[in-house]
Amino acid sequence: MPRIGMGEWIAAGGAIARGHLSRYGKQARYTNCFEKRLAQATGATHALAVSSGTAALISALAAAQIGPGDEVLVPAYTWMATATAVVMVGAVPVFVDIDETLTIDPGDIEAKITPYTRAIMPVHMGNAPCDMDAIMGIASRHGLLVIEDACQAVGVRYKDRHLGTIGHLGAYSFNKMKNMNIGEGGAVLTSDERYFVRARGYHDLGDLIRDHEGGLSEPSIIGVNYKVTEIQTAMAAVQLRKLGPMLERMRRRRAMMAEILSGSSEFRVTPHNDADNAVSLTILAPTKEAAVQLQGRRGVWNRLRDSSKHVYTNWEPILAQRTSHPKFNPWAWANREIRYDKDMCLRTLDILDRTCVVNLGMTYPSAVMRRVARGIAR
């Protein structure tokens, strides 16, 4: 992932030197500039900088008027914030199995749709894109919204379109584990003007007294405070310039290593929904025991089953349906009883048991990682 360097240091210092850290006012310039550049870079009509990826997900759901009585389909393998964001707007998450691409299974999406389903939240986990053609087709047939969680795939493309811009709304995250790192931050992307206005208002207490651009009208709504500072977006602009070259290097490295690893008889390279644009690399063993053995090889990271709150079985407060106050509990408002248990997505658990992450070694020469790949594939 990208490091913080001299460029970010100079940009943050410039914002501090100007003495105006709020995104609003005549002296503000960094946030508006970054939002325009992000929209241009991704092809979205609108981009809204917010304080985190979770804030982006919640703002996107609020913009789309997802709320009490609604069901939202989320994959059983994602950071817990995906499901938590649904709860925070008063809706309930419904868990959907993943397939071997490590992304939400379109077949199980179809199986989980009910009369109360309002939206699908595909998650592009670890830079692996979902099958967005299939998902958008399902959404169109059933009249559902698609809100992309692209927090772990900023800048990644699916068939020449940026992830986060294919659905009705998208969410990005900018922290140390993501493709852009400003410590903490995020963005909402959309090409729907009404969703943008609602997200903009929601992220700043209703947008009643701010000096936003004119020409956008929508009744104000009660909101929260998810604003960013000029320091954050000054750094984000530098990170955005680094993003394309970094991902291209990752794409080339991944292609080289995947070609070597595909010759192994012990495992398979994980299938990908757009191999030409792939920038992530995982391998799928035939059994859990075989995956455990692979972990001992240089260049092989953790099994995905061991990745903490990325696995639904570790979402304890959601499994328990426990909110900060009993009357805030959205399951009490649901149109049907929703129950969770740790065995409800066994296919997901089986795939995660057998999948290991391969380190692309971006700080090492290609020749070194070529040898590492041959060692893994021995």
Tell whether 23 and 54 lie within a shared domain: yes
User: Mean pLDDT across the chain, nearest whole number?
Assistant: 94
| Predicted local confidence at residue 28, as pLDDT | 84
Task: Give bridge partners of residue 171 from the DSSP assignment.
Answer: 149, 188
| Predicted local confidence at residue 207, as pLDDT | 67
Residue 215: pLDDT above 60?
A: no
Residue range of the domain that includes 109? 6-240
Residue 320 in domain: no
CA dihedral (51, 52, 57, 62) in degrees, to 10, reads: -20
Q: Measured on CA atoms in the order 14, 16, 20, 22, is the torsion positive or negative? A: positive
pLDDT confidence tier of residue 271, bands split at 50, 70 and 90:
very high
Residue 330 in domain: no
Residue 219 in domain: yes
pLDDT confidence tier of residue 378, bands split at 50, 70 and 90:
confident
**CATH code (residue 253):** 3.90.1150.10
| Predicted local confidence at residue 3, as pLDDT | 77
| Predicted local confidence at residue 212, as pLDDT | 54
| Predicted local confidence at residue 68, as pLDDT | 97
Boundary (domain end) residue, out of 240, 259, 294: 240
Q: Which two tokens stand for residue 325?
A: 């106050």
Q: How many domains does the chain have?
A: 2
Residue 213: pLDDT above 60?
A: no
| Predicted local confidence at residue 127, as pLDDT | 97
Closest to 91 in 3D by CA, of 77, 119, 116, 72: 72
Q: Which two tokens stand for residue 322?
A: 């426990």
Mean pLDDT in residue range 66-75: 98
Residue 251: pLDDT above 70?
A: yes
Residue 280: pLDDT above 70?
A: yes
Lowest-confidence range among 79-83, 113-117, 297-301? Answer: 297-301
Boundary (domain end) residue, out of 187, 218, 240: 240
Tell whether 18 and 98 lie within a shared domain: yes
Q: Measured on CA atoms in the order 202, 208, 209, 215, is the torsion positive or negative? A: positive
Lowest-confidence range among 20-24, 197-201, 332-336, 356-360? Answer: 20-24
Mean pLDDT in residue range 121-143: 98
Mean pLDDT in residue range 177-200: 95
Measured between alpha carbons, how far apart are the two ends of the chain, in Å? 28
Tell whether 210 and 118 lie within a shared domain: yes
Mean pLDDT in residue range 174-196: 96
Q: Which of 26, 159, 176, 178 is catalytic?
A: 178
Tell whether 31 and 152 lie within a shared domain: yes
Lowest-confidence range among 7-21, 71-85, 227-241? Answer: 7-21
Q: Which amino acid is at 227?
A: K
Question: 264-291 burial by CB neighbour count: b if 16+ within 10 A, else e?
Answer: beebbbbebbbeebbbbbbbbbeeeeeb
Token look-up 């390279």 returns: 269
Residue 178 a catalytic site member = yes
Which pTM value belongs to this model? Answer: 0.95
Tell whether 19 and 152 lie within a shared domain: yes
